[in-house]
Structure 1
Amino acid sequence: MATIKEKFIGGMRQIANQAMILTTNSNKTSIANSKDLRGVTLSSCVSLAVKPYPMLQFNLMKPSFTSNVLHSNQPHRIALHSLPPTEKSTKLAKLFSKGANIQPIINSTWDQIESSKNKLKTLFDELDKKEKLINKEKTKIPEIKHLVTPFEPFTLLQKEDYGFYDNEVPFLTNSNVVFICETIPKLQFRVGDHEIWCVKVIDVLHPLVDKNDDKIDGGLLYCNKDFHSLNKTCI
């Protein structure tokens, strides 16, 4: 008989959510080093309020290097991205969802990754080889102790894949909408193995929008362990 946890997970898999990515800079004084740039794919991000100012809410699983960066007595700027439903967006969402668990793989194959024309493709090829080897040998993936080194996803991106807001906050150029936000000190809540964040929206960017095209595609959706697009309107 299924446990309530198993029933809950099965039920939530039937609910589609936006696959959104959070990015930030761990070094407020410089944008020179891509290793300082952090990011994570969010499992939940929703509109919270309009008054007294626009606010969004999201959660982070703990432990998290990204959470460690955001915790401060002063507001910390972040970017929250809604991506178009494309293959490139799917790869970005998968990359930023991996977290520090794959950083050892990145480090061990860095020479090969760095010399390739498409770093992101080379990484996923290496991950695929590792998964096939594990399945062939019928062995389990060795447990990686919690977050030994910070995840450095921007080292795998091309320079044209991202820009900076106000010469500080990294944002992904492959985005329909980018919400530039500031954290609100002491407005975070620990709930179970997650942490809920409420942030203030200070600007909204539209990197991919053509001024002559008002098409709205609904963004990249995640449901039942796969990515989807909003392809029709139900009336």
Structure 2
Amino acid sequence: MSKRLFVKLQRYGCRRYSHEITQQRFKETMSRISSQAMILTTSNMKGVTLGSVTSLSINPRPMVQFNLQVPSFTSQEIHKMKKFALHLMSPTQHSVNMAKLFSKGAIKGCNDEFVPTRPFDLLVEGKDYLMYDVECRATNPIPTIICEEDAKIDWEKDEALCNDTKVDAKSLSLPILTSAERVIICESIRCFQVGDHEIWVGQVEEICSPDSGRVNEINKEQKTGGLVYFNRQFYKIGNPIV
């Protein structure tokens, strides 16, 4: 068999195999990858644990991105009010308990209708969380974009449009977890629907750290690496590889 024919057979085999990858094999593969476990909270006492938060850009403004499986009561609230808080959690047992608490999805109630879980009902205001006022612009709800390969966004034009729709500002209260190392206050600016998930883009408006029952300015304590999720368990960062 010639070398050229052998290469063709190899490539064809790879293509054929790629179509036979099952959901289970994909899930098993992804379970080998660690991710940062963060907690998102938004208005109306909604919240969820995320493993998909990443830094998106620093210019022209700091932005983050994350994914949400839909349908989601938290997603509905972000669509409506736009503001949310991302919590960087310390690698402690308390953080693990909080992450598990906020990871419980909607449950089926009467008539097979989904009802939201209420994690804040198990927490104490003033101890476990604070209500933090942020400025909220009265704008239209964030639309969901159905992704297309050729879809392009003019970010400068889009930002100008958002500014043009600004109405009287009002105060919106977000629940802030007091045990977080950092809290990133964001405003959602874009949402894309892909399969059974939404990809959210948030513009960072403020970064703070809860301390002694109040939200204060950033302090410079030792970096911990946050709470890491790997293979269905929580971990902390170990020693560096030299």
TM-score by length of 2: 0.68
Please name the residue that 1:70 is paired with.
Answer: 78
Structure-1 separation of matches of 2:98 and 2:37: 10
Aligned to 1:113: none
**SS of match in other structure, 2:103:** helix
* Cα distance, 1:77–1:210 mapped onto 2, change above 3 Å: closer
Q: Number of paired residues?
A: 180
Written as runs of structure 1 = structure 2, the 5 A alignment for 1:206-217 is: 206-207=209-210, 214-217=221-224
Partner of 1:169: 174
Call closer, same or farther: CA 1:62–1:85 in 2, change over 3 Å: same
Cα–Cα, structure 1 residues 63 and 212, in superposed 2: closer, same or farther, change >3 Å? closer
| Superposed CA RMSD | 2.5
Give the CA deviation at 1:42.
0.9
Distance 1:56 1:165 in 2: 20
Match of 1:220 among 211, 217, 227: 227
Question: Aligned equivalents of 2:115 and 2:22: distance in 1?
Answer: 34
CA distance in 1, matches of 2:114, 2:183: 30
Partner of 1:25: 43
Aligned to 2:124: 158
Cα distance per residue 1:73-118 (max 9 Å; x no partner): xx621100110011110011001001222x86xxxxxxxxxxxxxx
Looking at structure 1, the residues matched to 220 and 194 of structure 2 have their Cα atoms a distance apart, in angstroms, of 41
Q: TM-score, normalised by structure 1?
A: 0.70
* Counterpart position of 1:89: 95
Q: Which has the larger radius of gyration?
A: 2
Higher strand share: 2
Segments of 5+ residues of structure 1 without an aligned counterpart are 27-36, 105-143
1:11 equivalent in alignment to 2:14: no
Structure number with higher helix proportion? 1
Q: Unpaired segments of 5 or more residues in structure 2? A: 1-19, 134-171
Q: Percent of aligned positions with the same letter in both sequences? A: 44
1:30-63 C-alpha deviation (Å, 9 max, x unpaired): xxxxxxx000001200000111111000010011
